[in-house]
Chains A and B, each alone.
Chain A
């Protein structure tokens, strides 16, 4: 957790810098007449202070652990990381092609892919579930809720 906190502290400081770079484009005003950049500026300052506190806590914990000979363990296993990467990768790619493919084909492909490659289910289970999911989406979003979803290549 100590290494994670150090990384988090650095990322947060970088976020603070980006925030201040954006705030430069806004009028800040003053206490009498606060403008659009006033509140974000205040938050940026508080975030910078908190990030430094977090970094300081992480460094102090490292020194204490060094003294006691403790080590922190990793947070995510390789198999979990693989499952998560596959899932997020599938979702992002689907996002790119969603309107072109349409919601029915997207539902089928997403369910089938995730069941086979992440859920480790059998192919026939995945394909059946994919079809059922697409049908269920049509019932719920198409007929019942009458949502205007892209039909894609099925137009």
Chain B
């Protein structure tokens, strides 16, 4: 019964003209961002964060959440029509989605992608609604050692699952933790790494850093590529409503993808992208005709697209129940809530029920809006794809520039953004991933506070992390993820050395 009264509260918060409008704008912008390669939801959320300062907290979160799950819908459009994934989570959709388009079945691919995403998004919201309050209550029983172990697990998972070198991912994580130390120490008030700057006393804000590394950094990286015209599969897109055969083939992958995607979404790291890969692998494994995958199998579209949408709901679980962001996008959400003075933690759901339940209902309504938007507007998205990047990138830079200034009317923050833009670009070129840095920067203060509190409680005995069961299990999982990453690397190195001999 409590759930129903909370849902009623959520709808009463959402069903105002302003919040409904922002939900629509968020979904629309998210789809646009997903359609446009080179501009991801992280960059888009970073760009819009300063603008939300003037809004009520619940309105800001509704807008930003719309962008997040909207981008998953939009990303599939470019994967299917252009064979270029709009988002990392849509890479797998290229494998079968584009092949379906080449066979004249672009409509079916786009349709099942939209419907699958809607079903998965709805299921994800339902599970989030039930699970998050339970986890939030359980979180009240955990203390500083568990928080330290959780943040440690988050960082090790992100670094283990990053592309490329594990050493480089670790380095970025450590640099991010150091960046999180800039400013006044929250316990003693000592100024650390401020170099006499008043701006840096409050630390390096997540917004200038995120806008720099993901907004400016991504634009600079795209500048390094030539602006060719994209080859868009020009075919009359018909038959957007899936047929009975399509539904029969897709309903299993959709349901499996939804459940799988949600629970992978809870895990720290690039879980949204991982969920789509995992779903594809599972569908191919259990299929009676695995040889059809890669040639235009509808299951190869339905499963991954459902998984990545469900994962966006799952990603909210650690944030709203524990106050720990599982990935960079959630870290930006945390930043958005902090800008509005909202303390995120285990008491978030009970202290701010209007924000939590308003968010839940907006995700449901947003999924309905996205289903309605994506099917009739596909023609418009195709036209948008034809806009040359040479026209788009100055607008992105302008938005970054003005957006970061509106945060605190501080020109220094513009320069911080530009410096991190260069850092983001150079580190990407050198094979260092930005995601580890940002997540570490956001988790760093919590990690440090938990570590120092744990050592104070235990009077310097490190066994406190091992004698408490939850903390011990989390640290063992962290160690396992590191070993699972290192062991194949060591094996490859040994084989390379043997070849040399």
Which chain A residues have a beta carbon within 8 Å of chain B's beta carbons? 1, 4-5, 8, 12, 15, 19, 22, 26-27, 30-40, 43-44, 46-47, 50-51, 53-54, 57, 64, 67, 75-77, 80, 83-84, 87-88, 91-92, 94-95, 98-99, 103, 106-107, 110-111, 114-115, 118-121, 129, 133, 137, 140-141, 145-149
Q: Determine, out of B114-122, B307-315, B352-360, B408-416, the stretch whose residues face the partner at the interface.
A: B408-416
Supposing A43-B177, A87-B220, A107-B398 touch, asked if A50 and B167 sit within 8 A by C-beta, the answer is: yes
Is the beta-carbon distance between B171 and A36 smaller than 8 angstroms? no
Contact among A80, A84, A91, A103 with B418 in the assembled complex (CB-CB below 8 Å): A91
Classify the interface of chain B: helix, strand, loop or mixed. Answer: helix
The yes or no answer to B287 lying at the interface (CB within 8 A) is no
Alpha-carbon distance A90/B401, docked complex (angstroms): 11
Is the beta-carbon distance between A120 and B402 smaller than 8 angstroms? no
Beyond A88-B422, A118-B223, list 14 extra A-B contacts (CB 8 Å). Answer: A8-B432, A26-B192, A33-B455, A39-B177, A40-B193, A47-B175, A77-B224, A84-B224, A84-B425, A95-B414, A99-B411, A114-B393, A115-B390, A147-B406
Residues of B within 8 A of A106 (CB): 401-402
Closest to A38 in B: B452
**What per-residue 1/0 map shows which CB atoms of B450-470 lie under 8 Å from chain A?**
011001100111100000000
Residues of B within 8 A of A39 (CB): 177, 181, 448, 451-452
Alpha-carbon distance A30/B118, docked complex (angstroms): 53
Is the beta-carbon distance between B390 and A120 smaller than 8 angstroms? yes
Q: Which residues of chain B from 145 to 197 have a CB within 8 Å of any chain A CB?
A: 165, 167-168, 170-171, 174-175, 177-178, 181, 185, 187-188, 190, 192-193
The yes or no answer to B395 lying at the interface (CB within 8 A) is yes
Nearest Cβ on chain B to A91's Cβ, whole angstroms = 6
Contact among A32, A38, A50, A91 with B459 in the assembled complex (CB-CB below 8 Å): A32
Classify the interface of chain A: helix, strand, loop or mixed. Answer: helix
Is the beta-carbon distance between B455 and A119 smaller than 8 angstroms? no
Residues of B within 8 A of A33 (CB): 455-456, 460
Alpha-carbon distance A147/B181, docked complex (angstroms): 30
Is the beta-carbon distance between A111 and B167 smaller than 8 angstroms? no
Supposing A4-B429, A91-B418, A92-B418 touch, asked if A80 and B224 sit within 8 A by C-beta, the answer is: yes
Supposing A19-B178, A84-B224, A129-B391 touch, asked if A36 and B462 sit within 8 A by C-beta, the answer is: no
Supposing A75-B429, A98-B405 touch, asked if A54 and B181 sit within 8 A by C-beta, the answer is: no
Q: Which of A50, A51, A64, A83 has the most CB of B within 10 A?
A: A50
Is the beta-carbon distance between A148 and B409 smaller than 8 angstroms? yes
Contact among B190, B223, B391 with A87 in the assembled complex (CB-CB below 8 Å): B223
Alpha-carbon distance A97/B52, docked complex (angstroms): 26
Q: Which of B225, B393, B405, B456 has the most CB of A within 10 A?
A: B405
Some 30 contacts from A to B, beta carbons below 8 A apart, are: A4-B429, A12-B171, A19-B178, A27-B190, A32-B455, A32-B460, A33-B460, A36-B188, A36-B192, A40-B181, A40-B192, A46-B174, A47-B174, A47-B178, A54-B171, A87-B223, A88-B421, A91-B418, A92-B415, A92-B418, A95-B414, A103-B402, A106-B401, A106-B402, A118-B393, A119-B394, A129-B391, A137-B398, A141-B406, A147-B54
The yes or no answer to B201 lying at the interface (CB within 8 A) is no
Residues of A within 8 A of B455 (CB): 31-34
Alpha-carbon distance A75/B174, docked complex (angstroms): 25
Alpha-carbon distance A40/B406, docked complex (angstroms): 31
Nearest Cβ on chain B to A38's Cβ, whole angstroms = 7
Alpha-carbon distance A67/B455, docked complex (angstroms): 50
Is the beta-carbon distance between B431 and A1 smaller than 8 angstroms? yes
Contact among A57, A91, A145 with B397 in the assembled complex (CB-CB below 8 Å): A91
Closest to A64 in B: B500
Residues of A within 8 A of B452 (CB): 34, 38-39
Supposing A137-B402, A147-B54 touch, asked if A36 and B174 sit within 8 A by C-beta, the answer is: no
Residues of B within 8 A of A1 (CB): 430-431
Alpha-carbon distance A38/B395, docked complex (angstroms): 43
Is the beta-carbon distance between A115 and B394 smaller than 8 angstroms? yes
Nearest Cβ on chain B to A35's Cβ, whole angstroms = 6
Alpha-carbon distance A19/B456, docked complex (angstroms): 25
Q: Which residues of chain B from 448 to 501 have a CB within 8 Å of any chain A CB?
A: 448, 451-452, 455-456, 459-462, 496, 500
Residues of B within 8 A of A119 (CB): 390-391, 393-394
